[in-house]
Amino acid sequence: MKINILTLFPNMFDGFLTESIIKRAVDNKKVDINIKNLRDYSKNKHKQVDDTPYGGGAGMVLMCEPVFDAVEDIKKKNTKVIMMTPQGKQYDQKMAEKLSKEKDLLIICGHYEGFDERISSIVDEEISIGDYVLTGGEIPAMVLTDSITRLLPGVIEEESKDNDSFTDNLLDYPTYTKPREYRGMKVPDVLLSGDHKKIDEWRKEEQIKKTKEKRPDLINNRKRKTIGKYSLIEDTSKKQIVNLNMDNAYKFSPKKKGVFDVNKVMIVEPTFISKVAKKNLQKKLGSLLNQVQIVLNDETDDEGASYVLGELDRMKALIISLYAKYLDQEYLSLLMIKLDALKNEVALKEMEKIETVNYNKKGRSR
């Protein structure tokens, strides 16, 4: 994976890149981290990249031109562009896991009082690392880079990721090392028993106990559903399924590194996956239909149609790349026909609008 970081303060990354696990991951070519100085993209003779805000107010605002130029220079076809800002979506382990599957990231470190709003148009995702304001996006960019890099295959032991805090929305279990007793505090007997089944059970119980105690919000947001022999745990705050389990499912944790790039595998009946896939698709389609309806009924909005056309194309691509394998052929072709019909309607509407604009222009010039 390649991680490009666009910053006004490249030196801030020196220590980060030259110590510990990140250094080893870079040396072993598990990740390529490329620090780019935003000032190199300034056309101004003073290398200025920010200016005062229109309408007044304190601080300096990052200008469009150097950022647009930098992104256009660095970005490749498959690059995901991320802006670090306190206004972004709050970062969590699930997002780290998703981003670790990308091939190429470009992280822009915002600075001072913020950035020109138009920069958002070239950004795929705005991310915040928490509800507090830092002086810049450099530390947040390091947080992202660190949490993503440790998830890349071969960076840390696969087993140590299995029980990470926040995996399945639970905190990690307590761990102990030598000595067996320290200042009167003893290591729990079960950990010295050598009985791995008991140790696993104890650890799971402790995870739940610890999460209830320290982060009850993680537990309270978990809704358990049972469908036949399956149990689903949904995080209602994120509307995400965080755990899927099945009685007597065949589960295993691959041990041999380099052969598998997964931590755990569970064999589940395809019909069940298809049910979950259809439910997710229905939700996505619902919100897309709303957008289509708005475009078809709004005579004033000039750009909505091309945006919705893009969304419809993205939906088709998502279905093909992610959902198709879980859906039966009949359902899939019907879905594609529906999406094409929607695309035709929106494209027609867009043409009508263009013709009206041209007609009005001609009318005016005559």
What does the binding site for ligand ADE look like in residue numbers (CB under 6 A)?
A: 84-86, 110, 128-130, 132-134, 136-137, 140
The kind and range of the H/E element at 146 are helix 138-149
Least distance in angstroms from the C-beta of 1 to ligand ADE: 21
Least distance in angstroms from the C-beta of 5 to ligand ADE: 13
Asked about 113 being catalytic, the answer comes back as yes
- The residue among 54 and 132 lying less far from ligand ADE, judged by its C-beta, is 132
Q: Which of 104, 164, 206, 235 is catalytic?
A: 164
Q: Which of 150, 158, 168, 350 is catalytic?
A: 150
Q: Are strands 230-235 and 222-227 parallel, antiparallel or unpaired?
A: antiparallel
Token readout for 324 is: 């198709």
- The residue among 126 and 164 lying less far from ligand ADE, judged by its C-beta, is 126
Number of other residues whose CB lies within 10 A of the CB of residue 308: 25
Using the structure block, give the residue that is written with the tokens 């358990």. 224
Asked about 86 being catalytic, the answer comes back as yes
3-state helix, strand, coil in the chain (%, to 5): 50, 20, 30
Does residue 37 contact residue 10 with C-beta atoms inside 8 Å?
yes
What is the dihedral angle through the alpha carbons of 271, 275, 281, 283, rounded to the nearest 10 degrees? 180
Least distance in angstroms from the C-beta of 111 to ligand ADE: 8
- The residue among 11 and 360 lying less far from ligand ADE, judged by its C-beta, is 11
Does residue 163 contact residue 202 with C-beta atoms inside 8 Å?
no
Least distance in angstroms from the C-beta of 115 to ligand ADE: 10
- The residue among 108 and 171 lying less far from ligand ADE, judged by its C-beta, is 108
Closest CA to 36 of 67, 58, 82: 67
* Cα separations in angstroms, 219 against 129, 259, 313: 21, 34, 37
Closest CA to 324 of 309, 344, 339: 339
Number of other residues whose CB lies within 10 A of the CB of residue 151: 19
Least distance in angstroms from the C-beta of 109 to ligand ADE: 8
Q: Which of 97, 102, 113, 311 is catalytic?
A: 113
Least distance in angstroms from the C-beta of 32 to ligand ADE: 23
- The residue among 84 and 96 lying less far from ligand ADE, judged by its C-beta, is 84
- The residue among 98 and 283 lying less far from ligand ADE, judged by its C-beta, is 98
Closest CA to 115 of 43, 41, 51, 45: 51
Using the structure block, give the residue that is written with the tokens 């263009």. 354
Asked about 150 being catalytic, the answer comes back as yes
Residues annotated as catalytic (active site), given as ranges: 86, 113, 150, 164
